[in-house]
Amino acid sequence: MSDIADVSDKHIETFINSAIANASRKTQLHSDGHCAFCDEAVDIGLLFCDRDCRDDYDKQQRVMRIVGCR
Ligand SMILES: [Zn+2]
């Protein structure tokens, strides 16, 4: 019979394994002076021109993972 601590440990383990899997699939972006989503010029060191592009890029990456493109 499992107690609440065992159930909690299992949930934590599942969460950690999921986080590790997501992190290992995440593409490493490098700043090249252009937005990673819309390709507009950005300051060196920035990956996106604004928050909307970052959010849209994240959504696009999630969809691509779901449909198996990554
Ligand atoms: Zn952009």
pLDDT tens column, 53-62: 999 999 999 9
Kindly indicate the confidence band of residue 47, based on its pLDDT and cuts at 50, 70 and 90: very high
Smallest CA-to-CA distance from 26 within 52, 48, 57 is with: 57
Kindly indicate the confidence band of residue 1, based on its pLDDT and cuts at 50, 70 and 90: low
Residues 23, 19: Cα–Cα separation, whole Å: 6
For residue 41, report the distance from its CA to the centre of ligand 1, in Å.
8
In this predicted structure, the answer to whether residue 23 has a pLDDT above a threshold of 80 is no
For residue 52, report the distance from its CA to the centre of ligand 1, in Å.
8
For residue 65, report the distance from its CA to the centre of ligand 1, in Å.
21
Number of domains in the chain: 1
Which residue range forms the structural domain that includes residue 45?
Answer: 4-66
pLDDT value at position 36? 94
